[in-house]
Amino acid sequence: MAAWLGSIVGVVVIGVVVELLTQNRRMGNFVRSIYGFIVLLVIVTPLPKLLKVNFWSTQTDALINTETVNQLAQTSRQAQITQTLRSKGYDQAIVTVSDQTIYVNLGVRVDAETLADLQKTLGEEVVIL
């Protein structure tokens, strides 16, 4: 509270000095308008704390749902794997996500060496069928 009052007094003192310097100039009205906005901002800034309301976290908690974030991450990973497979020539590959595991059905038979290379490229969380 003391810091808030100190900042108000500081802004008022600075404003008085600035107003004395710009009394008869064309920019005087503009400077006074900006000064009034700054004073208003300094006065209003601590109101949420005084009202004990945290507007930001209330809105954020309502908007962010961890399940939704996890689904977005899985969908993004699924799209990334699909794109990687297409770039390697596996256009018929089907990528599905179940819990934290990603299943890939290539749609064609591949040899063990190619399978190991794909597994290394896609990551250990991917199960290639």
User: Per residue in 75-95, pLDDT tens?
Assistant: 888 888 888 888 888 888 888
Among 81, 92, 91, which Cα is nearest to 126's?
Answer: 81
Q: Which two three-digit tokens encode residue 79?
A: 């799209």
Give every CB contact of residue 97 below 8 A, 6+ residues apart in sequence. 74, 75, 77, 78, 103
Q: Which two three-digit tokens encode residue 40?
A: 């208003």
**Assessment of whether the complete model's pTM goes beyond 0.75:** no
Show which of 62, 77, 94 is a domain's final residue. 62
Show which of 62, 86, 103 is a domain's final residue. 62
Say yes or no: 84 and 56 in one domain.
Answer: no
Say yes or no: 53 and 84 in one domain.
Answer: no
Q: List 126's β-bridge partners, or say none.
A: 102
Say yes or no: 31 and 85 in one domain.
Answer: no
Residue 55's pLDDT is what?
55
Q: Which two three-digit tokens encode residue 109?
A: 């038979």
Among 78, 80, 119, which Cα is nearest to 129's?
Answer: 119
C-alpha 24/C-alpha 30 separation (Å) is 12
Say yes or no: 106 and 78 in one domain.
Answer: yes
Number of structural domains (the chain) is: 2
Say yes or no: 9 and 35 in one domain.
Answer: yes
Say yes or no: 85 and 111 in one domain.
Answer: yes
Say yes or no: 120 and 95 in one domain.
Answer: yes
Q: What pLDDT digit, counting tens, does each position of 29-82 carry?
A: 777 788 888 888 888 887 767 676 655 555 555 566 677 777 777 788 888 888
Say yes or no: 11 and 52 in one domain.
Answer: yes
Range of the domain at 76: 66-128
